[in-house]
Structure 1
Amino acid sequence: MDSHLKKYGQLIISLSGVVAVWWLVSGLGLVNQNLFPTPPQVLAAAVELYRDGVLISDLQISLKRAAIGFTIGATLGVLVGLLTARVFAVSLLLEPFLTLLRPIPAIALVPIAIVWFGIGEGSKYFVIAYTVFLAVWLNTHAGASSVASTYIRAARSLGANRFREFFEVVVPAAAPHIVVGLRLGAALAFLSLVAAELSGASSGIGFRLQDARQFIQTDRMFVGLIQLGILGALLDSVFVLISRRLVHWESA
């Protein structure tokens, strides 16, 4: 309980300090407020967007896109990661190809995603799922391929078949790495979400950022950035809580 209170206290102090410095710098006119708005200006922009019904609708749309893309990418990433780590034929076939894909950023895939899937939701799901998949696959593969051989030998000596060995030894041993991959994938889902919404979208947080940029409405741009930051932090906290319950043996 004390550790949680300490963590929340540190968060409040950190955020308060950042807002105070932000307010001081912009409020004293050290920078152009048209380029770097004050906290009250950003709050007023958020209230205006909320009253227009844009703030909540964009949030809902972006959350749906991120959730669907993350679910697709994470599911495939875990499955393929386990297979490439433990099945030689699959590793031989897919690992070199996936290694080549890793350096390609999500934003570079936006044009071809639009060509393949159109400007609808399919292209956005594809870009998000692609980014999440690679992050989750890499961590899952690393965890499943580094399972201690003593665990495998112990399971086999106790008469475990391949099925039980995989699900009762390999998967639990790789679980901490999988959780790390999921946390990273969740953060990357929001990064690729913005990339996907910057082109071929008429709604969502990324679209609103692009729309505000065209009219140099930096206060609205800050609202979108703060939304993304809060969403990412909340989602990461959820994964931390889930991992502590599901992968309890790692912290024991």
Structure 2
Amino acid sequence: MVAPTDGALDRAATRTPRRRLAVWLRRVTRTGAVRTLGPFVPIVVLWWLAAELEVFPAAFFVGPDAVLTEFLDLMRKGVLPGYLSDSLTRLAYGIGFGLLIGLPMGFLVAMSAWARRLTWPLLLFFQAIADIAWLPIVIVWFGFSLTAVTFVIVYTIVFPLVLAVVSGVEQVPQELVRAARSLGAGRFRVFVEVIVPGALPAVAGGIRTGLGYGWRALIAAEIIVGTSGVGFMMFDARRVGDVSEVFLGMIVLGVLWYAMDALVLAPFERATVERWGMVRQVEAGR
């Protein structure tokens, strides 16, 4: 057996701390906090540098410290919690009515040939009209009210959801439907036990997309129609020239949507695909 030389021992000794450091870095970078907040660190640093170096005039561009001060001030006064509560209430109304309308309509259009022939041109027509285009007539109809904002959110959610449901139903293999019918399943049982589970992955994706559109429609409606809410806060701050409040509103919107998507929508979509994604597995095995 050959004894290791002094040089080999020195190289092994230097490698060991490096390996430990590499293992530690891999473990740290795999944690949820680092993966979530890590990508934002360079953006915040660049933002801070741009503000400190006055790349843009201070009246038009503020740094993270000014936004943080504005956040603490609005929280202390209770202004920001009140605006957030109003925005989330409007969003909840819009989501509720949007799902109640979009899901049944989507399955009706997907399952009925006459309903599809009758409504498909209308769906494509209204899908092409942006939600903002409805705001002038909505103001005439409902005024500056919760109903006006809810109408815009529901309109924005319904059409992507209907199209996603139709796409999901079309992806269900007809072999599964025929197999269920050959085993004696009636139309209702085929719908509940074959069509709905097979379409759920696409439906989950449609809900996630529709709610994203609804969130943006909420802010746009609050800017134009609303008398409170985060969108109104940003528009009112622009009117008085408070740039830090505008920046704060943008950050709050991003944080809220990221939290909703990461904690609710993404797990829901992932769990739905894992639970009901057997249709794709069956197709892959053929």
**Taking structure 1 as the reference length, what is the TM-score of the superposition?**
0.94
Cα drift, residue 199 of structure 1 = 2.2
Moved more, 121-130 or 147-156: 147-156
Q: Which residue of 2 aligns with 1:77?
A: 102
Cα drift, residue 16 of structure 1 = 1.2
Q: Which residue of 2 aligns with 1:234?
A: 259
1:180 matches 2:210: no
Q: 1:198 aligns with which of 223, 235, 252?
A: 223
**Aligned equivalents of 1:98, 1:3: Cα separation in 2:** 48
**Aligned equivalents of 2:34, 2:164: Cα separation in 1:** 32
1:56 matches 2:76: no
Alignment-mate amino acid for residue 195 of structure 1: A
Q: SS at the partner of 2:144?
A: coil
**Aligned equivalents of 1:149, 1:13: Cα separation in 2:** 46
1:29 matches 2:51: no
Q: Percent identity?
A: 35
Cα RMSD between the aligned structures? Answer: 1.9
Residues 81 and 144 in structure 1, CA contact (< 8 A), matched pair in contact too? no
1:65 matches 2:65: no
Q: 1:216 aligns with which of 238, 241, 246?
A: 241
**Aligned equivalents of 2:270, 2:171: Cα separation in 1:** 21
Residues 110 and 166 in structure 2, CA contact (< 8 A), matched pair in contact too? yes
Residues 110 and 195 in structure 1, CA contact (< 8 A), matched pair in contact too? no
Q: What is the CA deviation profile of residues 69-91 of structure 1, one whole-angstrom value per residue up to 9, with x for unaligned ones?
A: 01111221111111111111211
**Aligned equivalents of 1:191, 1:8: Cα separation in 2:** 26
Residues 102 and 134 in structure 1, CA contact (< 8 A), matched pair in contact too? yes
Greater CA radius of gyration, 1 or 2? Answer: 2
Cα drift, residue 4 of structure 1 = 10
Q: Which residue of 2 aligns with 1:89?
A: 114
Residues 219 and 231 in structure 2, CA contact (< 8 A), matched pair in contact too? yes
Alignment-mate amino acid for residue 186 of structure 1: L
Q: 2:274 aligns with which of 243, 248, 252?
A: 248
Q: SS at the partner of 1:198?
A: helix
Cα drift, residue 3 of structure 1 = 11
Q: SS at the partner of 2:54?
A: coil
Residues 29 and 35 in structure 2, CA contact (< 8 A), matched pair in contact too? no
Residues 61 and 204 in structure 1, CA contact (< 8 A), matched pair in contact too? yes
**Aligned equivalents of 1:83, 1:196: Cα separation in 2:** 30
Alignment-mate amino acid for residue 244 of structure 1: R
Structure with higher RCO (Cα < 8 A, 6+ apart):
1
| Structure 2 gaps, min length 5 | 1-26, 282-286
Cα drift, residue 7 of structure 1 = 4.6
**Aligned equivalents of 2:174, 2:33: Cα separation in 1:** 41
Residues 204 and 272 in structure 2, CA contact (< 8 A), matched pair in contact too? no
Aligned length: 251
Q: Which residue of 1 aligns with 2:24?
A: none
Q: 1:112 aligns with which of 122, 131, 137?
A: 137
Alignment-mate amino acid for residue 212 of structure 1: A
CA spacing shift, 1:4–1:176, aligned 2, 3 Å: farther
**Taking structure 2 as the reference length, what is the TM-score of the superposition?**
0.83
Alignment-mate amino acid for residue 218 of structure 2: L
Alignment-mate amino acid for residue 210 of structure 2: G
Cα drift, residue 95 of structure 1 = 1.4
Residues 98 and 134 in structure 1, CA contact (< 8 A), matched pair in contact too? yes
Alignment-mate amino acid for residue 211 of structure 1: D
